[in-house]
Amino acid sequence: MAKKTHTRSHSRALTRVARAPKPIVIRTTKIVKAKHRKGHRRSGGGITGGLFSKDRVTTVSAGFAVGMLEKMDFVKNLPHLPFLGTTGTIGVAAFLLSDNGRNRMADDIATAALTVAGYMMGSTGAIVGEGPGVVGGAYVAGW
């Protein structure tokens, strides 16, 4: 009988295949500089642009409304607070109608009226109005 030849079996061990390492890529981000915006002048610049600003025009119109309200017979016949006079009473009434600033025009009228009343008290020591403590049509401080 002939001798059998043995075939070699392949090794089943895990082998690691060496691969070439990937190259390291360094990327830099592009720096984009922000564009500088130039200042734009508003129309009507110069002296008159600041003089007739929105805030000043509303204050002037509110002061005009206070003056018109003081001349009305309806307001003259209303009772006034003796220590505030006519102008101060208009300011307090306008503030109460403004609903804590929600009604912008009434709030501006209140501001203008109280400003005028404060000016009168500071300059003359009296606020124009009628009621007890009034001397010559004006409330005198400390009466």
Average pLDDT of each block of 10 consecutive residues along the chain (143 residues)?
Answer: 67 73 85 78 62 84 89 83 84 89 89 89 75 49 50
- pLDDT of 84 reads 82
pLDDT given at position 133:
45
CA angle (131, 75, 62) in 5-degree steps? 115
Please give the pLDDT value at position 56: 86
Domain boundaries, the chain: 50-140
Alpha helices per DSSP H over 1-143: 47-51, 54-71, 73-76, 85-97, 104-124
